[in-house]
Amino acid sequence: MNLCIIGTGYVGLVTGTIFSHLGYNVVCVDRDAKKIDGLKQGVMPIYEEGLKELVDANVAAGRLTFSIDLVSSVRESDIVFICVGTPPGKDGAPEMKYVRAVAEEIAQGLNDYKIVVNKSTVPVGTGELVRSIIQENLTQPVAFDVVSNPEFLREGTAIYDTLNPDRVVIGAVNREVGEKVASLYQTLTDTVQITDIASAELIKYASNSFLATKISFMNAVSALCELTGADVEQVREGVGQDKRIGSAFLNAGLGFGGSCFPKDCLGLLHTAKRYDYDFHLMDSVLRVNEEQPLRFLARLREVLGGFEGKRIGVWGLAFKPNTDDIRDGKAFEIMAALIKEGAEVLAYDPIAIDNSRKEQPAATYVDTALDACKDVDALILVTEWREFKEADFEEVRKSMRLPVLFDGRNIFNPKEMRDKGFLYYSIGRADA
Ligand code: UGA
């Protein structure tokens, strides 16, 4: 079976690599020649643990190739996956121009029956849109089917998630077509749900938005904890032990970032508006998410008596650990506010510094976690990298001008931090 994967971002590159690992012949296509050249030389465009090793092994085995030639790659394939980005447009609706452009080009490569699978996160109705674009641009009269197969992998654990899916969702016009795509996953899971196309498209948005809702709910509870003296970690444990609720995605913190949750909550809202449904729950989820770093900054401002002339260390720039992705990362909102109000910012991340320099050139980027503590009036932990959990806090405290530690992810024990001499502040827990 020959597979063509269009788009070598997180979803495309990981999906293509895993399919090649499962024994299929895969060509990964991207219009970015630099990216494709890099991949041919074993240079990964993203940081994802284990990815390079798998790419190298499957390239060496002759099952994984890279190309900028979409049309001929489609011609030689049985199943074509669309994995291009759908970033939020100006009005919050996903930007569909890449999906449209790719559908037009796919049509030119259709020389016999093929299945075109949409893996990009797209609004309800995109299956039909892709079908009609391909139909209008066919260069010869061939049959084809369009299938929706949303992706549920997380950055940072993308390989593991792809090899161990909770479920595979396939939206197809009929069962036979759905089962052809399902067969690709047969060695990975028995939990395959074949649905209609619109439902598959909505399952993706509903899943991400529901997870975001869990996070915002706990963040709102954390605000209440700060006001009432309750402890959000104890509340989380008690709530999460109810099997109907589950303990995952209940961690209070600075809010959710990344390229998916903020975009997909907006996307769901936009779909609702298109159909005149007032999905005000999603408005609130996004509002809590915007307020969370602002509340955190307000507490820090109060503790320090303003930011003017202050020197502040920031630990963690990636939107979450184990990735160099900084999209919608809370560190940037926080750094922008600090810098605007006159603070000097020393920023450190184990792997996301290069990406961060372009995003916030006014911060000073340092080479080690300890360098970000030198003579600072406060240290803010934004991303819960393991390196920070294991830091030598004796050295950290000695380096700081004032021992003010703001933990935006609740990774430390308040009493232990107080015993180590810190004025320790976290989310939804009693201050030091
Ligand atoms: C998310 C989904 O989890 C994936 O299933 C989905 O495939 C992906 O989006 C996508 O649509 O492509 P991802 O954005 O990589 O994955 O990262 P998550 O691990 O879900 O974290 C998202 C954000 O939520 C991060 O900023 C994280 O810090 C935050 N978060 C997560 C919390 O604040 N609290 C939690 O309890 C969990």
**Cβ(125)–Cβ(146) under 8 Å?**
no
Would you name the residues annotated as active-site residues?
260
Give 386 Cα–ligand 1 centroid separation in angstroms: 17
Ligand 1, atom 30: closest residue by C-alpha = 256
2-195: CATH class? alpha beta
Ligand 1, atom 18: closest residue by C-alpha = 154
Q: Where are the domains of the chain?
A: 2-195, 229-432
Q: Given this model, what pLDDT does residue 91 score?
A: 85
The amino acid present at 11, given as its one-letter code, is V
Q: Given this model, what pLDDT does residue 251 score?
A: 98
Q: In what order do the strands lie in the sheet with 2-6?
A: 64-67, 25-29, 2-6, 79-82, 114-118, 144-148, 168-171, 192-195
Give 154 Cα–ligand 1 centroid separation in angstroms: 6
Give 261 Cα–ligand 1 centroid separation in angstroms: 7
Closest Cα to residue 360, out of 351, 371, 348? 348
Ligand 1, atom 10: closest residue by C-alpha = 260
Q: How far apart are CA 383 and CA 321, in angstroms?
A: 6
pLDDT in tens, the chain (432 residues): 999 999 999 999 999 999 999 999 999 999 999 999 999 999 999 999 999 999 999 999 999 999 999 999 999 999 999 999 999 888 888 999 999 999 999 999 999 999 999 999 999 999 999 999 999 999 999 999 999 999 999 999 999 999 999 999 999 999 999 999 999 999 999 999 999 999 999 999 999 999 999 999 999 999 999 999 999 999 999 999 999 999 999 999 999 999 999 999 999 999 999 999 999 999 999 999 999 999 999 999 999 999 999 999 999 999 999 999 999 999 999 999 999 999 999 999 999 999 999 999 999 999 999 999 999 999 999 999 999 999 999 999 999 999 999 999 999 999 999 999 999 999 999 875
Ligand 1, atom 7: closest residue by C-alpha = 152
Ligand 1, atom 17: closest residue by C-alpha = 154
Is-same-fold flag (2-195; 229-432)? yes
Ligand 1 neighbours (beta carbon < 6 A): 121, 151-155, 208, 211, 215, 249-251, 253, 256-258, 260-261, 319-320
428: left (phi over 0), alpha (psi -120 to 50) or beta: left
Lookup: tokens for 41:
């030389």
In ligand 1, the atom with minimum distance to the C-alpha of 161 is 5
Which of 154, 166, 219, 233 to mutate for ligand 1's pocket (most ligand atoms within 8 Å of CB)?
154
Which of 15, 164, 260 to mutate for ligand 1's pocket (most ligand atoms within 8 Å of CB)?
260
190 sits in which H/E element: none
Q: Given this model, what pLDDT does residue 432 score?
A: 59
229-432: CATH class? alpha beta
Which of 151, 215, 245, 332 to mutate for ligand 1's pocket (most ligand atoms within 8 Å of CB)?
215
